[in-house]
Structure 1
């Protein structure tokens, strides 16, 4: 039976892995490309920090909801087809945001982006579980998450650099064009799925699948990890840009964008910690990853800019390790309806980004950076009882 899966070391394996890497790259570069530009929007459109953060929250909020629709669509029309359409529409809308005449239009386009971008994150993890050799699951999932982390890094980095060199409109348009090129390569490289033949999903069947998943309490509890991990991650990153704009740091947009090069730590950790989880077990390694996140967050409280950057690197390393393990754990724990299980995990994941990312603005305004870090640490602390309950036999 192993020969029906994509085997490690084969040409098909390398092309498929690269295609999934591109999928994560396009998706996350586009979703979070406005994050380092929040101070730009606050100044140009005369809005608050929390209002500016809605350019991220609207996208992730709509994305969270549409994930529930994308998974059934992929069952009907095919995993690859839905992912490809999602990527092309994401690139096009990403370019359209560059010509937004006002803040309202920008928010509407970013909300629409959240609708169309849902196809990749809802399906990619399911494709990995269904098509690749189970022995390579941790590594391949790590490669997809690595593409996500590199996409998040490069989108933010280029946005800051191009904004300083030109303006934010050219920045968003350029990133959209790059996304379009990578979408074409994705279609060429990804093999057609063999284990998810399309079939018409009736509404009653869709409801039954989700109801079946909701009967597994430990799976549902495990899914909440997405909210806690991503909520803490985005809350920290949303307002770090505002911190760097203030005295005594007063950094440029290029420097703020370049901070996101620390995502390389996530590119490494998603693969490295995924392998460790395959060896030592997911519960143990994910607990360590979350502890690494917390230590990095605490280090950013130091006044030194160097200490803050080191803290961000450590925090990012821990996050992507934890996320890659949690996402694989959910997919494996759901013996049936894996596409819907992945969608529920990502629903929680992006709701965390949307809700906690905006709530973080209250802590920034009221208590400054120590308030943001305190909020993040509370979210991370809640993850430990969740893991304990999920791993109970």
Structure 2
């Protein structure tokens, strides 16, 4: 059966497994590219003779492009289908990644990174809507958790590959190596993603008006607004930690060599484990209690990074990462699940807030780091998490 009444893929079915594997590939292709400079920021700053916040713009430019593009991509997905739009997204972004790595000037590199982010916007804008439509309702939280796990694998692999390559050669070679990896993952998505069965194309004279009405419907929901605020604050704080941790660890008293900074991103494995686990626990115990639990875990990890010994700092990073991705896995799936009839727009708005937070706070916290060092940076990020918790408790407590 094909169409809106086709049964969703059940957990354990071959099509369900193919869809999850395809979304893991899409997550790798997207997040390996977008955050590949993060472990090399100190090398970029030294080579281009710019400050920490200027180097961080290589990440923020891409996430800004992605943030601005997710909502337009949701409309493209409604018109063309989620799967074809996601294919176009990952393939075009990979080409731009290779070009941006060899841009002759800092300004051109930022412009190309921005366009790369625009191209990449199709994956986070449509992935959750794609799986929400194609899998059985009972499988949505678990499937969303596995997709987020794929994004952590992508973020980890990009940073782990780029940093040692950059240390041996240059940061441009590091970014190029990641683009090749992303191309392989994009090919995996194209080959594995099952055709849509429950998608209905939105066409006709009234389609634009309908799309706008869906956006309005989403922002009128106080619960969705709470999730948008959560996404902005939590992602902004999380990216800030990873943006400036390399500066913190390569400075006294740690003096970690640049070649080993990439190993710090092994902490992303905490998110790989926590994302599907949080999805299962949310299905059993409720989304809100598990979100708050994961946010508490993130704060504990933040506080551990203020301790002296390097091993405790790295343990704190692992705990922080697990808490963040656990909370994000629940929230991103919730945004799509509560927007029946407007899933693309709801998930597009969620990702707009998510990556806008990454761009704005990820850059702005650099000014905090320059002014007050790591301690003040951690306190600002902890405040963002606390504000997120207050927001979701006040606005989502009665709307589970």
When normalised by structure 1's length, the TM-score is 0.97
Residue 46 of structure 1 aligns with which residue?
49
SS of 1:5's equivalent in the other structure is coil
SS of 1:53's equivalent in the other structure is helix
1:323 is the counterpart of 2:305 = no
Q: Out of 285, 294, 317, which is 1:280 matched to?
A: 285
Deviation string for 1:199-228 (max 9, x for gaps)?
Answer: 327332222211122221222122211111
**Paired residue total:** 393
Deviation string for 1:234-278 (max 9, x for gaps)?
Answer: 111110010011012222222111110111110000011111011
Shift of residue 197 of structure 1? 2.5
Q: Out of 387, 391, 397, which is 1:391 matched to?
A: 397
Query: For 1:170-319, what aligned pairs fall within 5 Å after superposition?
Result: 170-200=173-203, 202-319=207-324
Between the aligned partners of 1:265 and 1:214, the Cα distance in structure 2 is 32
Mean CA deviation greater in 2-11 or 226-235: 2-11
Q: Is the 8 A contact 2:6 2:197 kept in 1?
A: no
Residue 21 of structure 1 aligns with which residue?
24
Shift of residue 134 of structure 1? 1.3
Q: Out of 152, 162, 167, which is 1:164 matched to?
A: 167
Mean CA deviation greater in 8-17 or 268-277: 8-17
Shift of residue 352 of structure 1? 0.7
Residue 153 of structure 2 aligns with which residue?
150
Shift of residue 5 of structure 1? 1.1
Deviation string for 1:86-108 (max 9, x for gaps)?
Answer: 01011111111221212112111
1:134 is the counterpart of 2:134 = no
Between the aligned partners of 1:21 and 1:288, the Cα distance in structure 2 is 25
Q: Is the 8 A contact 1:157 1:254 kept in 2?
A: no
Query: For 1:35-74, what aligned pairs fall within 5 Å after superposition?
Result: 35-74=38-77
When normalised by structure 2's length, the TM-score is 0.96
Between the aligned partners of 1:3 and 1:353, the Cα distance in structure 2 is 37
Shift of residue 306 of structure 1? 0.8
Residue 355 of structure 1 aligns with which residue?
360
Mean CA deviation greater in 80-89 or 198-207: 198-207
Between the aligned partners of 1:306 and 1:50, the Cα distance in structure 2 is 26
Deviation string for 1:325-344 (max 9, x for gaps)?
Answer: 01111111112201100011
Residue 82 of structure 1 aligns with which residue?
85
Q: Is the 8 A contact 2:44 2:171 kept in 1?
A: no
Deviation string for 1:135-165 (max 9, x for gaps)?
Answer: 1112211111001001111101111111122
CA RMSD of aligned residues (A): 1.4
Between the aligned partners of 2:272 and 2:36, the Cα distance in structure 1 is 18
Shift of residue 3 of structure 1? 6.6
Residue 123 of structure 1 aligns with which residue?
126
Residue 96 of structure 2 aligns with which residue?
93
Shift of residue 359 of structure 1? 1.2
Between the aligned partners of 1:108 and 1:77, the Cα distance in structure 2 is 27
Between the aligned partners of 2:201 and 2:190, the Cα distance in structure 1 is 18
Q: Is the 8 A contact 1:163 1:253 kept in 2?
A: no
Q: Is the 8 A contact 2:274 2:322 kept in 1?
A: yes
Residue 386 of structure 2 aligns with which residue?
381
Shift of residue 16 of structure 1? 1.2
Shift of residue 310 of structure 1? 0.4
